[in-house]
Amino acid sequence: MDRKRRKMALKIWMLDRDISQETIANALGMTRSRVSTYLGSEIVTRTIFDRFVSVGIPPELLPEPRDLQKRGPHRRTGTLPVQEGTV
């Protein structure tokens, strides 16, 4: 289902059950603005997806879940090489 149809189906589902974004936000412990952002997205993290499902929203009405990917170079622990005359 494309994003536009999914959002419309979600709105209908919510209207049929008299559920607002504020109600969802309260159940999830987040702001209504954040709920709106997540529900309007094309993808969300798996954690966020699971949280919405846990409060009763049908998975097929939610954005596609994705696992987080680590970004950037891997950080190493250790010491920096010290050049003579710099310390």
- How far apart are alpha carbons 86 and 44 in whole angstroms? 47
Burial of 27 (0-12, 13-18, 19+ CB in 10 A): middle
What are φ and ψ of residue 64, in 5° steps? -65, 130
pLDDT in tens, the chain (87 residues): 788 999 999 999 999 999 999 999 999 999 999 999 999 999 999 999 999 999 999 999 999 999 877 666 655 556 556 667 655
Tell me how far apart the alpha carbons of residues 52 and 38 are, in angstroms, rounded to a whole number. 10
pTM over the 0.85 mark: no
